[in-house]
Structure 1
Amino acid sequence: MSPEFLLTAFIVCITPGIGVVYTLSVTLGGGARAGIWATVGCTLATVFHMIVAMAGLAAVLHSSALLFQALKYAGVAYLLWMAWAVLQSGGGMAITAAQSGTPARLVWRGILLNLLNPKLPLFFLAFIPQFLPKEAGLADLVILGSGFTAMTFATFLLYVILGATGRSRLLSSARLMTWVRRAFAASFAALGARLALERAP
């Protein structure tokens, strides 16, 4: 893997998006351990999308406007539900000192949030080939895909560390936590709105 690929992958991974917002909200709600489980879920979804892209199924999604729209609006609905859940003080996505759910639930939410984003396999289809040699084979695809997956996991862990570091201070202020919940809810809603405006290529 070239330094250019690693740098580009890092920039893509560290850019705030659905996975980052989810991971940070879970970390603030349940601590570093919960954040790690959320990271696992988001990473597993990335692996799935990478496999889809490698198998050429992204090309099918690219050519099917109906399938693209169906996935898109399912993703929008789930993001809006996440925004509502964060605002509910007793909901499963509540940002409080209590644990934010079982490991299985945290992983599943991370998977589902990212699976319902149809732009990911299309992105991989356009991103990975730029760094492949002319005579590239399946092994080259696997190497780059594995590198991107590892970068995703490592970058999300950085967000977990950042969230866990300031967690105690945030949780000690009810007023501040109210604004944090509103900020995360607004972020999920904004991501849903942005996804709703995406057009099939």
Structure 2
Amino acid sequence: MFGIIDLPKFIIGTILIVLLPGPNSLYLLATASRYGIKRGYQAALGILTGDSILILATVLGAVSLIHSYPIIFTVLKVLGASYLGYLGFKLFLHSIGIWKTAKQKSSVLAEPPENNEIEPKQLHPFRTALTISLLNPKAILFFLSFFVQFVDPNSTMPMLSFFILAVILQCISLSYLTSLIFGGRKLAGYFSRQQHLASLATCAVGVLFLTFGAKLAFSTI
């Protein structure tokens, strides 16, 4: 149907892939737990926008370009690894700040007032999540290798097939990100009462970002 092969298998595979932890999902979880549902959805929109751009680039032939000019992959890889490392370092410093203020009644992880804007000038969830997505050249290669398995090579409308698969993937991704956002708010209430644990959790996320950056830096096409 519409040039798609084995749609149920695609849906199951997509769910399993989306559930795998990555820098984007961890960033969204940290943002939602610290700054609320609104900021969480801003980060989610950044993730979905970035993935949509990468999917479009995949369909339009970005993979062939990367293979023809490996320097492009190298540049994106270095930029992506550096940015993930930068975010990891910032989270690590933030965890130190939480630890130092653990004895205070309020902290940055406490439930924010409903109409209060927290760090409006410094916080850019959409932009940060979008940047994390776009600075990941491996994602383009993944999208092509995954999508192509479910598109009939004899289809007369391959673009429509890719579009339908992309919409399904994004719907599944949005459902998962929504669960992370509301799960993050529940964690915020717990961490607001357990400051030292909040500090350790933030530090752990920072270390994971540094790990993601190192993994990307040493990756190959």
Give TM-score scaled by structure 2 length. 0.82
Q: Please tell me whether the aligned partners of residues 18 and 173 of structure 2 are also in contact (alpha carbons under 8 angstroms).
A: yes
Query: Secondary structure at the residue paired with 1:88?
Result: helix
Match of 1:47 among 34, 48, 52: 52
Structure 1 residue 134: deviation in Å? 3.1
**Structure-2 separation of matches of 1:50 and 1:126:** 11
Give the Cα–Cα distance (whole angstroms) in 2 for the partners of residues 118 and 188 of structure 1: 17
Identity over aligned pairs, percent: 21
1:90-169 aligned at under 5 Å gives the runs 96-97=109-110, 99=118, 101=120, 105-136=124-155, 137=157, 138-169=159-190
Q: Which residue of 2 aligns with 1:5?
A: 10
Q: Could you list the per-position Cα deviations for residues 145-185 of structure 1 after superposition, in whole angstroms to 9, with x for gaps in the alignment?
A: 11112222221112222222222011222211110111111
Flag the 1:198–1:167 CA change in 2: closer, same or farther, 3 A.
Answer: same
> After superposition, what is the alpha-carbon deviation per residue over 1:39-60, rounded to whole angstroms, capped at 9, x for unaligned?
1111110000000001112221
Highest RCO, 1 vs 2 (Cα 8 Å, sep ≥ 6): 2
CA distance in 1, matches of 2:14, 2:69: 27
**Matching residue of 1:193:** 214
Instruction: Kindly indicate whether the alpha-carbon contact (under 8 Å) linking 1:89 and 1:95 is maintained by their aligned counterparts in 2.
Output: no
Residue from 43, 61, 69 that aligns with 1:56: 61
Q: CA deviation at 1:101?
A: 4.8
Structure ranking higher in helix proportion = 1
Match of 2:194 among 161, 173, 185: 173
Offset at 1:32?
2.2
Gapped regions of structure 2 (runs ≥ 5): 96-106, 113-117
* Aligned CA distance change for structure 1 residues 53 and 166 (closer, same or farther; 3 Å): same
Amino acid at match of 1:145: A
Question: After alignment, is 150-159 or 182-191 more displaced?
Answer: 150-159
Matched, 1:26 2:69: no
Larger Rg: 2
Counterpart contact for 2:109–2:191, Cα < 8 Å: no
Kindly state the Cα deviation for residue 5 of structure 1 after the two structures are TM-superposed. Answer: 0.7
Shift of 1:95: 5.7
> Which residue does the alignment assign to 2:94?
89
CA distance in 2, matches of 1:83, 1:172: 24
CA deviation after TM superposition for structure 1 residue 195, in Å: 0.7
CA apart distance, 1:115: 0.4
Distance, in Å, in 2 between the alignment partners of 1:58 and 1:14 is 25
SS in 2 for 1:89: helix
Structure 2 residue 41 is matched with structure 1 residue 36: yes
Conserved? CA contact 1:79–1:191, under 8 Å: yes
